[in-house]
Amino acid sequence: MISVLRKQYSLIQNSREVVLNFLENQAGADLNTPVPAYDNSTIRYLLVHNANCYFSWLIRFALQQPVTFANDEDIKAVSQLRELFISVDEAVAAFLANFEAKMELPIDGMLSGNRQATATPLQLFTHVTTHEFHHKGQIMSMCRLLGHTPPDTDIIRF
């Protein structure tokens, strides 16, 4: 199973790279532009939110290690987002290595507000990756609303 998840994550990284290249080469001027249809959120905010989700679930919850979350206001450029996602890649690698033989083993952990929760590593991996794709769709819609024609960012591109 773990080899499939590593391959799947590689596909996710490739799709993310399409997004970052598009932002860097075409829509980057609007990285920090508030989008009214998205409650004045920015593309930058959603990308940082995606990264923090990986850190929260895979490192803090699953590996039960301390996490320093990224502050979206400290990030102004695609180059900084790339650095942030290198840390995400490292977090995913550490998570998969740690749970390689126990992807179905329940993990008990704490959520905000001192709420207890239980999830398997497979559930956590599925959550963070589908969460990224949910927001990737929103980011591409934001780009369109800001006047840019986004590329095909799916795993399978034609």
Average pLDDT over residues 25-35: 95
For the chain, the domain total comes to 1
In a domain? residue 150: no
pLDDT, one tens digit per residue, over 46-68 is 999 999 999 999 999 999 999 99
In a domain, 80, yes or no: yes
Q: Tokens 């940082």 map to which residue?
A: 48
> What pLDDT shows up at residue 132?
98
Express each pLDDT in 113-122 by its tens digit.
889 999 999 9
Task: Give a yes or no: residue 151 inside a domain.
Answer: no
The answer to whether position 93 is within a domain reads yes
Domain ranges, residue 101: 2-145
Indicate which CATH number applies to the domain containing 105. 1.20.120.450
Within a 10 A sphere around the Cβ of 85, how many other Cβ atoms? 21
Residue 121 falls within a domain, yes or no?
yes
| DSSP label at residue 112 | G
| 117 in any annotated domain | yes
Query: What one-character-per-residue DSSP string does 9-40 give?
Result: HHHHHHHHHHHHHHIIIIIGGGTT--BGGGTT
Give residue 6's region: left, alpha or beta (phi > 0; psi -120 to 50). alpha
Strand residues in 79-147 grouped as ranges (E): 107-111, 115-119
Is the Cβ–Cβ distance between 84 and 44 less than 8 Å?
Answer: no
Mean pLDDT of the chain: 95
Listed in order, strand segments (DSSP E) in the chain are: 107-111, 115-119
pTM here? 0.95
153 inside domain: no
Q: What is the pLDDT of residue 158?
A: 66
Cα separation, 148 vs 128, in Å, equals 27
Nearest to 128 by CA among 65, 74, 62, 50: 50
